[in-house]
Each structure stands twice: as C-alpha cells, then as structure tokens.
C-alpha cells in the first residue's frame, strides 16, 4: 500500500464514525459533568481531566480483527480517540512502532523487548500526545497553542500544529539540546529559551494564557495528550496478540505515557479485549531528578517539587508533575515500583546496547535498561519475565561520544590494526 492510500483509509475512519466520548471526569474528585465538545484545561480542583467513552458502544462498533486489519499508526484506534471530525485529524505519516528483542546486550534467556518510539514523526513518542492535542485544539477552534518543553514535546507540537495551520509559542530551558531548539523553530514554532527549568517555563505559559488567550498544551493541563499516549497501550496489546507483558519499564517525566497506558488497559479490559492480567508498571527516573521515586518510597500520594533537578536524560527532567498521584496509583495498583538510576549508569547502558546490539537508545530509553539491570540484580523482577523497555525518542537527537580513530591516507596503512 502506498502512504497516500493508507492515509485515505485512516481518514475514512473519521469520516464514517463520530467519536464515542461521553464526558470528561476529574481525576481526583471524580466530578464527571465536564462536557465533550467544549474547551477544557484542568478540572475545578486543579487536576487533570480524563476523557470517558461509551465503551459498550465501542464494543459493538469494532472488533480486534478489524483494528488489526487497518493500516498502522496510532490514528487507527479511531474508536478510542476523542476527535470527532475528519477535518481535525492531523497526520504526518505515523507508523506502528516496532518491538525488538535485545540480544547480545542481555544475558541468555532474558526476554527483553525494546519498543522503539523514535520511529514516529519528529523522532519521539511526543508525536502521539501532541497530534491528539493539536487535532482537538483545531476541532474546538483554538488557534494559538503554547507550551513549555524539554525539547521533544515542543518539536512534536510545532510540527503537528504547523501542518494543521495553527500557531505555536514554545518555551525551553536554555540548556535544552540545541538540536531540539532549532528543530522546533524550523518547524514553525515561535521559540524562546528561558533561564530556568520546565516548570519555570510553565509559569510563563500560564500567565500568557491569561494575557494572550493561548491554549495551554502543557503536560496533563489539557485532556487530550493522555489520549494520544494511551495508544501506546493499545498498540502494545495488539502487537503482543492482546496478551500483556509481565513488566513495563517507563522513563517517567510528567507521566503522561504511564497514565495513558494504564487507562488503555482499563478500557481494553472493560470491553473484553484483554483479561485482568496487568504488567507491573515501573516508573524510571534519574537520580538527579526523582520526585516520583521519593514519593513512592515514602508511601506518599503526591510528589513535591524536586530541587536542583539534574540529568542529561532531558525528557525525564521534570521536577514536579501535576499527575503525580495518577502515576503513583498506576504503579502501586500494578504491583510495580519506582526506581532511580545513576547518571553514569544511563550513559554506560546507552553505549553498551548500541555497541553490542546496534540499537541506539536515547538516554531516557537507556535509563529503562539501567533500571531493568538493577531490578534483575536485586531480584525485584525475574529473568523469565517478559519485559518491555520504552525507548521514547531516537538516540540521534542527543550528543554522542566523540570518535577518535584516524587514518592518514598518505601513509602506508598497517592492516594489523583492524580488529
């Protein structure tokens, strides 16, 4: 099938069916009279809103086989997504991201699979959430979107919004990798660096929302990025033959993906597409920024601001998460845990997996590998567990070690030097 045919087939799903959204619900109070089809930010209690669907109607409208037969990419999960009209759907050519077993970099007998989200448009899984946020903003008539970002989210927002014909203002901490900042700007985002962290950028967006009428697309401050990230759970279930893996290691910043997958599994079970088995959800953070791990260890429901957050795994340098309690709930309900990894261990794992298996993880993805190694060693998971590691972005967007080997073409070459 050519790309164009796939795109038309996917778009047709949106022409033929409306969304199955019934209402939105406050994730902390349960208040559920937030209406579909209206613009929403946080709930009245200042917490994320969750989109609810008529699951019975979804069950009667589509089968697993029909879903499997559709062309790949997250828009295929039409019935589970909030977009109502075909005009709002915005696609940059998404793919179903591959799952690859690690070989030489793991001990014999281990079943460790990498889900490589770096294959999505703009090179990260932020494409999933931002495509949905942009589509919904377009559908609801919002035309200027703003967001703080550590890089990947801004890139995805800029690309999808520009393609959809919407304006964006994007703020990054001034130590964000330069490749990300330039990418965002080139893809049409009005981009600024800020002398602070992502939460400082977030404050400026919040004020600008009042002042300028921007739509605030910050993590979990609008309801639809979760719905996009939810497709990781749907896709994973489909790829594994509607069987759950034993353990999922997820590099956790704002937690959208972990919360989204947990929601996906719940919806799938309610319509009878999967059983009650759940993977253990493991929230992975870096030692220099581990608010969720601290709250998990201390038995708390919320995770206060982590001071002087530090890590070069930028996607998980998130000092405070508005959905902290949702992350912690999913982790605990799943019998999982939260774990932090050392900065050096992250980059050691990135280099090792790349050299031994030819798979270039991003630092955040490498953090999940490091966490898996620690968990295996401490016995919190077993060698026989089927494990999914999320590689959330292409490793190509991050600084890599310098190479040093040089050949002088004008001198005789000593061929014994080649190993």
393 vs 369: CA distance, rounded Å: 14
> Could you tell me if 232 and 260 are in contact, meaning their C-beta atoms sit under 8 angstroms apart?
yes
Residue with Cβ nearer ligand PLP (262 or 273): 262
Number of residues that bind ligand PLP (CB under 6 A): 18
Question: Residues 47, 78, 126, 350: which binds ligand PLP (CB under 6 A)?
Answer: 126
Residue with Cβ nearer ligand PLP (254 or 336): 254
223 vs 42: CA distance, rounded Å: 8
- As a residue count, the chain comes to 419
Question: Residues 43, 97, 105, 124: which binds ligand PLP (CB under 6 A)?
Answer: 124
Question: Residues 256, 285, 311, 340: which binds ligand PLP (CB under 6 A)?
Answer: 256
Residue with Cβ nearer ligand PLP (82 or 251): 251
Three-state secondary structure string covering the chain: CCHHHHHHHHHHHHHHCCCCEEEEEECCCCCCCEECCCCCCCCCCCCCEEEEECHHHHHHHCCHHHHHHCCCCHHHCHHHCCCCCCCCCCCCCCCCCCEEECCCCCCCCCEEEEEEHHHCHHHECHHHHHHHHHHHHHHCCCCEEEEECCCHHHHHHHHHHHHHCCEEEEEEECCCCHHHHHHHHHCCCEEEEECCCHHHHHHHHHHHHHHHCCEECCCCCCCHHHHHHHHHHHHHHHHCCCCCCCEEEEECCCCHHHHHHHHHHHHHHHCCCCCCCCCEEEEEEECCECHHHHHHHCCCCCCCCCCCCCCCCHHHCCCCCCCHHHHHHHHHHCCCEEEEECHHHHHHHHHHHHHHHCCCCCHHHHHHHHHHHHHHHHCCCCCCCEEEEEECECHHHCCCCCCCCCCCCCCCCCHHHCC
Select the span of 235-243, 254-262, 353-361, 410-418 touching ligand PLP (CB under 6 A): 254-262
Q: Which of residues 152-191 bind ligand PLP (CB under 6 A)?
A: 152-153
Q: Does 233 bind ligand PLP (CB under 6 A)?
A: no
Q: Does 362 bind ligand PLP (CB under 6 A)?
A: yes
Nearest to 261 by CA among 335, 315, 337, 330: 330
Residue with Cβ nearer ligand PLP (251 or 319): 251
Strand partners, 215: 145
Quote the least distance from Cβ 136 to ligand PLP, whole Å: 18
Q: Which of residues 21-40 bind ligand PLP (CB under 6 A)?
A: none
Quote the least distance from Cβ 183 to ligand PLP, whole Å: 13
Select the span of 24-32, 92-100, 134-142, 250-258 touching ligand PLP (CB under 6 A): 250-258
Quote the least distance from Cβ 213 to ligand PLP, whole Å: 26
Task: Determine whether 275 is exposed, middle or buried from the number of CB atoms within 10 Å of its CB (0-12, 13-18, 19+).
Answer: exposed
Q: Does 316 bind ligand PLP (CB under 6 A)?
A: yes
Residue with Cβ nearer ligand PLP (13 or 260): 260
Q: Which of residues 189-228 bind ligand PLP (CB under 6 A)?
A: 219
Quote the least distance from Cβ 382 to ligand PLP, whole Å: 26
Quote the least distance from Cβ 209 to ligand PLP, whole Å: 20
Residue with Cβ nearer ligand PLP (73 or 255): 255
Q: Does 251 bind ligand PLP (CB under 6 A)?
A: yes
Q: Does 254 bind ligand PLP (CB under 6 A)?
A: yes
Q: Does 315 bind ligand PLP (CB under 6 A)?
A: yes
Residue with Cβ nearer ligand PLP (223 or 251): 251
Residue with Cβ nearer ligand PLP (73 or 151): 151
Select the span of 48-56, 63-71, 133-141, 253-261 touching ligand PLP (CB under 6 A): 253-261
Backbone angles phi, psi at 256, to 5 degrees: -50, -45
Q: Does 371 bind ligand PLP (CB under 6 A)?
A: no
CA 9 to chain centre: 25
Report the residue closest to ligand PLP, judged by CB. Answer: 315
Quote the least distance from Cβ 377 to ligand PLP, whole Å: 23
Quote the least distance from Cβ 116 to ligand PLP, whole Å: 12
Q: Which of residues 373-412 bind ligand PLP (CB under 6 A)?
A: 392-393
Can you give the binding site for ligand PLP, defined by CB under 6 A?
124, 126, 152-153, 219, 251-257, 315-316, 362, 364, 392-393
């Amino acid at each position: 099938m050519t790309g164009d045919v796939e795109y038309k087939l996917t778009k047709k799903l949106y022409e033929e069916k409306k969304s199955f959204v019934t209402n939105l619900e406050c994730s902390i109070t349960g208040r559920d009279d937030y209406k579909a089809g209206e613009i929403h930010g946080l709930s009245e209690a200042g917490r994320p809103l969750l989109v609810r669907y008529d699951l019975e109607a979804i069950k009667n409208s589509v089968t697993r086989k029909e879903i499997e037969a559709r062309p790949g990419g997250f828009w295929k999960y039409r019935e589970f997504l909030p977009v109502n009209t075909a005009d709002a759907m915005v696609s940059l050519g998404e793919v179903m991201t591959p799952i690859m077993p690690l070989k030489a970099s793991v001990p014999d007998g281990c079943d460790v699979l990498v889900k490589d989200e770096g294959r999505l448009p703009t090179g990260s899984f932020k494409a999933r959430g931002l495509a949905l946020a942009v589509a919904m903003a377009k559908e609801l008539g919002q035309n200027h979107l703003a967001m703080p970002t550590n890089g990947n989210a801004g890139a995805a927002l800029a690309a999808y919004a520009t393609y959809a014909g919407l304006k964006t203002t994007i703020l990054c901490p001034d130590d964000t990798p330069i490749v990300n900042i330039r990418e965002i700007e080139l893809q049409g985002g009005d981009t600024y660096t800020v002398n602070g962290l992502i939460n400082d950028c977030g404050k400026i967006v919040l004020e600008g929302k009042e002042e300028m009428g921007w739509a605030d697309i910050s993590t979990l401050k609008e309801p639809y990025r979760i719905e996009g990230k939810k497709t990781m759970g749907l896709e994973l279930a489909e790829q594994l033959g509607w069987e759950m893996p034993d353990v999922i290691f997820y590099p956790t910043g704002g937690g959208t993906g972990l919360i989204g997958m947990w929601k996906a599994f719940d919806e799938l079970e309610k319509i009878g597409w999967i059983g009650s088995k759940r993977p253990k959800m493991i929230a992975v953070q870096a030692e220099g920024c581990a608010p969720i791990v601290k709250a998990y260890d201390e038995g708390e429901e919320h995770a206060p601001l982590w001071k002087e957050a530090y890590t070069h795994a930028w996607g998980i340098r998130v000092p405070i998460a508005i959905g902290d309690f949702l992350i912690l709930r999913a982790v605990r309900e799943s019998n999982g845990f939260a774990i932090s990894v050392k900065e050096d261990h992250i980059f050691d794992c990135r280099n090792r997996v790349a050299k031994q298996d030819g798979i270039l993880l991003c630092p955040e993805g490498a953090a999940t590998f490091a966490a898996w190694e620690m968990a295996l060693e401490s016995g919190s998971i077993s060698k026989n567990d089927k494990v999914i590691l999320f590689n959330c972005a292409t490793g190509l967007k991050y600084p890599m070690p310098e190479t040093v080997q040089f050949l002088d073409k004008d001198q005789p070459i000593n061929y014994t030097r080649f190993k």
